[in-house]
Structure 1
């Protein structure tokens, strides 16, 4: 059974919507508010129940089911040709340590991952300003094995 990752209504939710609607005590607006979906979604569920289509539908797009598509997508996404072609950056503020106050200044963890070599670069900097991010980026690029770079610091 294939369920979309953003699905809000499960099979049991659809059955409950139908049951509540059949009791004549719940209106469509109330059902939409209760299940946190739009009114057209409720109408669609009611229509599908009347047609007895309670199970999720399989995808009709056959292109995504082929092996060629999966291999092409994997090659395009993960195989980079040189270091630094695609680098992922992220920052994280570490959790408070035991005995540390929330008012004390805390450092930030900067992380970069190179998609070519899968190398991980980290740095702990005192703040999350553009100056700190630029210095981390410069240090990361200079520490990568790039032949045509100039590091002037």
Structure 2
């Protein structure tokens, strides 16, 4: 900050302006006396005429208008997607056809906190520098396989749609009608969703099945191999966790017959199979708990539409906004 009595401080500007306006001193002589340029002397004289002594203060450098700034409607759409769907800047930018930096500035302008402070499903934060990221070079080089177990919605709706008391009553009615069966790992109150996610394209093949036994897992794997082969994708490796169905001889023989190498994650390290674990989170946020359902049949009826949307339309942040289908070149349509 300059001294208050410096030549171009507010006091010096006032003296200059008064010499020109009140003393009728020519601009050139006033500029020479105060050791400034003629345009500078003219500017302070003009401000003195327009605003008086208040015009001698510094004006903010912020422009009066910004024609390239996003509209208020666009800003409200960005904030609305952040609060309602808990999307990051990249996902919002792909959805609204904006630049990621633009979305980030809008979120910062509205003081939106980072997702790790608001999304309970993230759990404990893992530092980014410790994360080891990889991607195989072509489709089929690595397929991530996993099972997601979800509680079935009773008839009339669960507690998410009708509240805790009514949901518990519907659940008890269902359990009394069906009975609880725990045989060979079966539990009728749950449904099991089997996934096969391609590492390179993130293309997913999924089925909703009644259990996670070795016979079911092997049959799903045969269907997944045939589904990927129909699109010209030859599976070379399969990565699973250490579940009992994946450690069975039947599952191993299924992969051996197809010429596929089987790899398993290290125990208690789900991060190794992170791509399918991330799909499980997307599954919960955008399908399983995206809206209230009144029955399990209603939720499952929407599943194939969700899978079609994920594979063909949904922008994937890891693919820079492209859909998984864009990396599988032999898909019909």
**TM-score, normalization: structure 1?**
0.42
Question: Higher Cα Rg: structure 1 or 2?
Answer: 2
Higher relative helix content: 2
TM-score, length-scaled by structure 2: 0.21
